[in-house]
Amino acid sequence: MEDTPVDASTIIYIAKADAFEDVGRVISTLLVPAAVWREAVVEGERIGAFEVPRIRAAEVAGEIKRAELSAAEQRDAQAIADEHGLGKGESEVLAVAQRLGRAVVDEGRASRVAHLLGVSAVSTLLLPVVGVRSGNLDVHDASALLSRLAAAIGARSDVVERIRNELRTESR
């Protein structure tokens, strides 16, 4: 995937899994709107979250890029928030995603709104499958990435097993 807007949960999970390099093989650059940065980094620093230095290092390495919203995207973000009851971060992600056609979001309502807006949205936990489908990850690397992300997210074992089955199917 090309540059893709992501929500705060996504960059927090990737940082906790220490997986920016692997995810970079799936998504060239994670685009982080201002509200997402405030939620994941500024608020994370305030509470002493251990993953913040990893997020900052990923920005320095070019794996994360802060996304500046145009005036139109800012209006769209506000309209999305007002109409669908989403937070500022998810709304900014979806406003940028409308232009690009894709996003990574982990909140269920944001995923449903993305679909309504014609945006292709995947969850962080499905990035290994995207990597295999695109040919950027082999099944072994994707499975290892899935394990690390699942641990960071606290994903249910039945969900992880369904994704592992999908990885096996993709490898055939």
Q: What is the pLDDT of residues 109-118, one digit of tens each?
A: 999 999 999 9
Instruction: Show Cβ contacts of residue 15 under 8 Å, excluding neighbours closer than 6 positions.
Output: 51, 52, 54, 55, 58
Looking at the DSSP bridge assignments, the partners of residue 122 are 104
Per residue in 3-22, pLDDT tens?
999 999 999 999 999 999 99
Per residue in 119-165, pLDDT tens?
999 999 999 999 999 999 999 999 999 999 999 999 999 999 999 99
Rounded-to-integer distance, Cα 26 and Cα 36, Å:
20
pLDDT at 14: 98
Rounded-to-integer distance, Cα 86 and Cα 105, Å:
12
8-16 vs 139-153: helix crossing angle, rounded to 10: 110
- Note if the pTM is more than 0.75: yes
Rounded-to-integer distance, Cα 4 and Cα 34, Å:
14
Question: How crowded is residue 156: how many other Cβ atoms within 10 Å of its Cβ?
Answer: 10
Enclosing H/E stretch for 99: helix 88-100
pLDDT at 170: 80
Q: What is the mean pLDDT of residues 23-28?
A: 95
pLDDT at 89: 97
Per residue in 65-105, pLDDT tens?
999 999 999 999 999 999 999 999 999 999 999 999 999 99
Q: Is residue 103 helix, strand or coil?
A: strand
pLDDT at 134: 93
pLDDT at 49: 96
Q: Which domains does the chain have, with CATH numbers?
A: 4-125 (3.40.50.1010), 126-170 (no CATH)
Say if residue 56's pLDDT is above 90: yes
